[in-house]
Structure 1
């Protein structure tokens, strides 16, 4: 996860200063074909790029609305993917139009044209990693994660379709999302003292040097460029 921080201190939501005890996470997507973080996050920190239209969310009422989320996921100026925290995690956000604002951390994934599998895969993975981070931070599990449309069905959010108008286009759903979060949450931790240990795999033993060199060339051609010959 590429996590950065740019708190939207000019947003009226931040100025209210109300806090919550996070009980869950709500996943949103922006509903606009604009994957660039600079559309929503400001000022430019040297990575975002400048929003020439000034329609970012670091202002009192963005687009005339009382809206603010805890984070955005999307593209930096160089095209790479990042997450920007835009409110303190325990700040009451204005992200779902219902009582979920009192209980859930909400973040937005910047949408593109909804046809780019590469972009989707990158922001999906970034969102999974963000949720893993937040679950560990607030002792939550994958069961505490919903999207906006699920929040509506539970009666704690307004009637929006995100993210289920997007995820299924690439074979994903909130169930697969939660499963991916669970997989990372339950992955074994590295053994203390062994974070950099290497495990080597021998692919052959030869009495004729030419045969060993032929195998080395074959292995390197397959992409294992750090392969080598060791004599005994």
Structure 2
């Protein structure tokens, strides 16, 4: 997972200051053909790129709407895939429509996957895997499991979210469902549990201020056989 943090402190949701005890995770997708994180996350931190329209969500009511989620997954300016945390994980988000009784806003951590035109298999599988990694991370953080994960359309069926189709208008186009997504999370959680029975020493091989240098080092390490090597951004 390529996790970064840029909290949307100017959004009215953040300023409301309400917190929750997370009981689940809700997967959303943006419903617009724009895979670039800078559309929703800003201002530019040197990785996102400049949003020339300044219509990102780091403003009081973006587009006049009361909306905010905990994270976005999409493309950085250089085309690589990343996750941006945009609210504290235990902050009450605005992603299910506030008028719903028993709203998922009160129980679920939410994130949006930036959609493209829904036909690019390479992009889809990259963001799908990034979303699985994010869910594994959050499950470990809050003692959740794969059964704690739903998408927006499932939330509607459960009566805790507004009537949106995401993500089931997109996943099946590439042979995936929410069940296969949950299974992928389950498999990675189980793999982590198996590794916990062994003792590991983790080794940092470098620290770089330029991301291209970090990417080059990661590629070199993976070619040496260290397939689990990752970049962590601080």
So what's the TM-score if we normalise by structure 2?
0.82
Deviation at 1:167, TM superposition (A): 0.1
Deviation at 1:194, TM superposition (A): 6.6
- Per the alignment, residue 31 of structure 1 pairs with 31
> Relative to structure 2, which stretch is displaced further, 149-158 or 186-195?
186-195
Q: Show CA shifts across 1:68-104 (max 9, x none).
A: 0000000000000000000000000001113100000
- Per the alignment, residue 166 of structure 1 pairs with 170
- Per the alignment, residue 87 of structure 1 pairs with 87
- Per the alignment, residue 180 of structure 2 pairs with 176
Superposed CA RMSD in Å reads 1.3
- Per the alignment, residue 128 of structure 2 pairs with 124
Q: Show CA shifts across 1:13-38 (max 9, x none).
A: 00000000000000000000000000
Question: 2:68 & 2:200 partners in 1: Cα distance?
Answer: 42
Structure 1 residues 173 and 193 mapped into 2: Cα distance closer, same or farther (>3 Å)? closer
Q: Is the partner of 1:43 in helix, strand or coil?
A: coil
Deviation at 1:189, TM superposition (A): 1.0
Q: How does 1:78-117 map to 2 (within 5 A)?
A: 78-97=78-97, 98=100, 99-117=103-121
- Per the alignment, residue 214 of structure 2 pairs with none
So what's the TM-score if we normalise by structure 1?
0.83
- Per the alignment, residue 68 of structure 1 pairs with 68
- Per the alignment, residue 20 of structure 1 pairs with 20
- Per the alignment, residue 206 of structure 2 pairs with none
Deviation at 1:193, TM superposition (A): 4.3
Residues matched between the structures, number: 198
Question: 2:148 & 2:133 partners in 1: Cα distance?
Answer: 15
Question: 1:137 & 1:165 partners in 2: Cα distance?
Answer: 29
- Per the alignment, residue 9 of structure 1 pairs with 9
Q: Which has the larger radius of gyration?
A: 1
Q: Is the partner of 2:55 in helix, strand or coil?
A: coil
Q: Is the partner of 1:186 in helix, strand or coil?
A: helix
Q: Is 1:192 paired with 2:199?
A: yes
Moved over 3 A (4+): 193-196
Question: 2:87 & 2:136 partners in 1: Cα distance?
Answer: 18
Question: 1:43 & 1:54 partners in 2: Cα distance?
Answer: 8
